[in-house]
A and B are shown apart, each in its own frame.
Chain A
Amino acid sequence: MTATQTATVLPAPASTPRRNFWRGVVRVLRRKPSRMAGVVILVLFAFLGVFGPMLYPSPLPRDDNALYAPPSLAHPFGTDFEGTDVLALVVTGTRYVLLAGLATAVITVALGTAIGLLAGFHRGRWDTVLMRLTDLQLTIPGLPLLLVLSTVWKFTSPLEMGVVLGVLGWGGIARAVRSQTLSLRERGFIEAARGLGLSTRHIVGRELLPSMAPYIAMNMLIAVTGAIYAQVGLFFLGVLPFDANNWGVMLNLAVFGGGALTSAAALPYLLAPLLAILLLTLGIVLVVDAMDEIFNPRLREE
């Protein structure tokens, strides 16, 4: 009987679970149109990040006679202080924002996960040392430190920006991953892995990590939004180098140079990067909603 059962199971193609997974993903996305919208938004921004600068000539054309021009067909979000199309600035500025956001997210998640896993799994001295380090990191006031750093570091590359934001942001994830690890390490499958004499590397890498992958992936996306706010905020404060198509710089110039909060002339110049940030955040939140259901069996409706 057992042999018969095995015979009926074996012919199944090896790729079935993967295909089922992607089918499930599509099903979850289709269940709510908002999730599809989120995917479309992220794909759009990814497209703009990769191809955006290729869509416009470099340097961007200016119209000397249309400074702070109102929205029109030619300029859907008007023009900036020197007559450059605001939409073009937002599009060409997407790459820096996304790269810095992704770099931040990768570093945040990599550091936070590694430290959390090690601390939670080994406990004892490892836990004590790594968690004190985490406490220390959490007590560092990020914004003041960044303000001080900006006086000596120009952050000309998005990766530099991402490294700094990532190094300043891993503490929360480390704590959360440690908690998850402490819980999972007491479960039966980990006990079984230990009983089988599997190596720590195997247990952490093959047993623990995949269990937490959905949680980590969602944190990564959320870290992207945090990184976008942080970097745009720093550029808005004017403490980072000028780049006309940086969204934070655009906000700064619209408010302090154009008086966008006081008069309507520079309002489109202010709104365009704000809408871009809003849209990107919305896209991420909607996709995180879908991921939650994909990875959390309790939320699945079938």
Chain B
Amino acid sequence: MRRLAVITALAVIATATACRGVGDSGDLGVYTTVDGAKQIDATAPINPFNPQGNTFLGYDAMSLAWPKNDPVDPNRFYPGLAASWTVTPDQGEVVVHLQPKARWSDGKPVTSEDVRTSIGLAYTQGGTAYAVDPKAAGAAADVKVVDAKTIKVTQGANKSNTFLRNVLSTVIVPAHVFGGLLPANFWNTLAAARGTGTAAEQAKAQITGLAQKVISFAPREDVSAGPFVLKRVNPGEALLVRNKYFYAPENIAPDRVKVLNYTGNQQIWNYLISGTLDSAPFTAVPSAVLKRIRQTQGNEVLKGFSPVAVSLAFNQSQKPYDNVHVRRALAYLIDRAQVTRVASPEAGIPAQTTTGIHETSAKSWLGDGITDLDAYRVDPAKAVQELEAAGMTRQGGRWAMPDGAPWKVEIHVPASFSDWVAAAKSITSQLNDHGIDATVITAADYPLYLDELAAGKYGIGFWLMALGPSPYNIYQRVFGPANGWQMLAGQLTHAAPGTQGNWMGSPETVDGVNPGVLTGELNVAGPDRQREIVGTLAKVTNRDLPIIQLYDYVNTQFVNSNRYTGWPATDSDVLRLSAGVWMQLGMIKKKVDR
């Protein structure tokens, strides 16, 4: 009997403990959220270089600065581990001054040596400011420790105006934990890799050969310079507790942060409906679900600029999409407002026209110039004119190819993107209404979709674009590698359609303009020249239509004011940063009446 009582008591305790797991929102001082960038993998290392790593940007993973969500200027930041910085006008030299009080969670100070080690580790991963190839645009040429809290990073000869952004976005890790990953002669090897010849190639191979070692490195415990440090992680959640050495503890209201795991958007919706989350990053939500989320006490929806748009991209190697009249005809037949209403009524706004730029940015870049562009409003009569100009024929009420062969429009989308599937279905319905035989074809997943798209298997596919705010990044999506223009070792080359990943296959020049060269120039041009180029590229995009811009995304986020207040306002420039950064900036406060 006594044994039974003990078992019962243990069962009650276990049940009570279990009930305090995921979804427990009544715990004072706990801030509950989800990580929009990844799902939790409890077996992943505590390592920010690992894509699945159990570090959370803004909470226990810190970069030098946090980029503001500016529609136009990519070089505006909030301080992170860098208290301040200076940059020369050509971005040739960036000097970073670290937070004087910044310390790691084990009490050691954050120093320039940590930054240098982090940059060294970033070289092993390649890309952005830390490409081993010295000719790569925007690659750092030298990293010099000025003093314990100051470091200077110099850009190579092939300059890029995104250098500052790339340097300040560097995630900083502790040298006393990660430093052992870099060989003692790493910086000499890096210098050798920047040369030419066999020795340089060997040195490059040595550096890139470190990539896997860095990614798989698993420190025994989290050592963080952010406001929190990871205490434990399980398949359901990660728990972070305060870092008592954080440089601005007065700004941090919560004592702990729970990052809940999820397997799909539905789970995030359910968290939001139950009022579990204090905030959630951008999540695609159907209208009815949004309405349900709003009904939960304390829930609020924040909307802001999101530099992403979605388009219908053409493979001009496939007929009849090589003919601009066909592309224009399709643009005149697609009701973008209806597509947006069907596909993304809460997180999208119909594209005003096709410019290659998100509408919010387009207003700043083009001003009134946007009204000079063809708006491609729904106009079946114009579509007929364009199709006839392309030589398309009509047989039994259906449009056919110039040689009389059936024209079957296949629009490809990845099955996992439900808004794209709905948008594609809406477009095919509209095209069928106008005598064009159109169907939706889905790919099993996004990586497969991208592979098949790049292999030129699709005539028309959905394509993310306008990935700003940097104008170079924006137009790279239209006149970049997918369309044949590649920047290799500082040299812009153009691959023939159907080769080297050029699946869009636009002509190299349009009305005497080489849009790829102009896009490359955006990387180095000053503000005035950038504005001029963007104007030209918007016109080329609008006239030649390598893509049809469908809708621009709206950053839709969720917060709950039951436990915390001080949320960013709608359209705030911190909306695309994690709530950990909001805390660092002193925005989030505990609700007083609790």
Residues of A within 8 A of B (CB): 59, 62, 64, 67-68, 81-82, 147, 150-151, 154, 238-242, 244, 252-253, 255-259, 261-266
Chain B residues with CB under 8 A of A262: 266, 269-270, 273, 288-289, 292
Q: Which of A59, A64, A147, A264 contacts B288 (CB under 8 A)?
A: A264
Chain B residues with CB under 8 A of A151: 444, 448
Chain A residues with CB under 8 A of B421: 242, 253, 257
B432 in contact with A259 (CB, 8 Å): no
A253 in contact with B442 (CB, 8 Å): no
B444 in contact with A257 (CB, 8 Å): no
Taking each of B291, B292, B429, B444, which has the highest tally of chain A beta carbons within 10 Å of its own beta carbon?
B444
The 10 closest A-B pairs by CB, nearest first: A265-B288, A238-B415, A259-B289, A257-B418, A263-B288, A242-B442, A259-B286, A242-B440, A239-B444, A256-B418
Residues of B within 8 A of A (CB): 264-266, 269-270, 273, 285-289, 291-292, 338, 341-342, 413, 415-416, 418-419, 421-422, 424-426, 429, 432-433, 440-442, 444, 448
Chain A residues with CB under 8 A of B415: 238-239, 242, 252
A258 in contact with B342 (CB, 8 Å): no
Please give the distance in Å from A258's CB to the nearest CB on chain B: 5
Chain A residues with CB under 8 A of B265: 256
In the complex, 20 of the A-B residue pairs with CB atoms within 8 angstroms, ordered by the A residue number, are A59-B432, A68-B288, A81-B422, A147-B444, A151-B444, A238-B415, A242-B413, A244-B425, A253-B418, A253-B421, A255-B266, A257-B419, A258-B288, A259-B288, A259-B292, A261-B266, A262-B273, A265-B288, A266-B286, A266-B288
In Å, the complex CA distance between A258 and B292 comes to 12
Residue of A nearest to B270 (CB): A262
Evaluate whether A256 and B429 lie within 8 angstroms (CB atoms) in the complex, with A242-B441, A263-B286 already known: no
| B contact patch SS | helix
B426 in contact with A82 (CB, 8 Å): yes
Please give the distance in Å from B440's CB to the nearest CB on chain A: 4
A256 in contact with B266 (CB, 8 Å): yes
Q: Apart from A242-B421, A262-B273, A263-B288, what are 20 other A-B pairs with CB-CB below 8 Å?
A: A59-B432, A68-B288, A81-B342, A82-B422, A82-B425, A238-B415, A239-B444, A242-B441, A253-B422, A255-B266, A257-B286, A257-B419, A257-B421, A259-B286, A259-B289, A263-B286, A263-B292, A264-B288, A265-B286, A265-B288
Evaluate whether A67 and B341 lie within 8 angstroms (CB atoms) in the complex, with A62-B429, A242-B421, A257-B419 already known: yes
Residue of A nearest to B433 (CB): A59
Please give the distance in Å from B396's CB to the nearest CB on chain A: 14
Chain A residues with CB under 8 A of B269: 259, 262
Chain A residues with CB under 8 A of B413: 242
Please give the distance in Å from B304's CB to the nearest CB on chain A: 22
Please give the distance in Å from B162's CB to the nearest CB on chain A: 36
Chain B residues with CB under 8 A of A261: 266
Please give the distance in Å from A92's CB to the nearest CB on chain B: 14
In Å, the complex CA distance between A257 and B341 comes to 13
Q: Which of B292, B342, B442 contacts A67 (CB under 8 A)?
A: B342
Chain A residues with CB under 8 A of B432: 59
In Å, the complex CA distance between A64 and B433 comes to 13
Residue of A nearest to B438 (CB): A59
In Å, the complex CA distance between A256 and B289 comes to 11
Residue of B nearest to A83 (CB): B342
Chain B residues with CB under 8 A of A238: 415-416, 442, 444
Chain B residues with CB under 8 A of A242: 413, 415, 421, 424-425, 440-442
In Å, the complex CA distance between A150 and B307 comes to 33
In Å, the complex CA distance between A265 and B288 comes to 6
A263 in contact with B444 (CB, 8 Å): no
Residue of B nearest to A266 (CB): B288
Q: Which of A62, A244, A259 contacts B266 (CB under 8 A)?
A: A259
Residue of A nearest to B343 (CB): A81
Chain A residues with CB under 8 A of B287: 68, 265
Residue of B nearest to A263 (CB): B288
Please give the distance in Å from A237's CB to the nearest CB on chain B: 8
In Å, the complex CA distance between A68 and B264 comes to 22
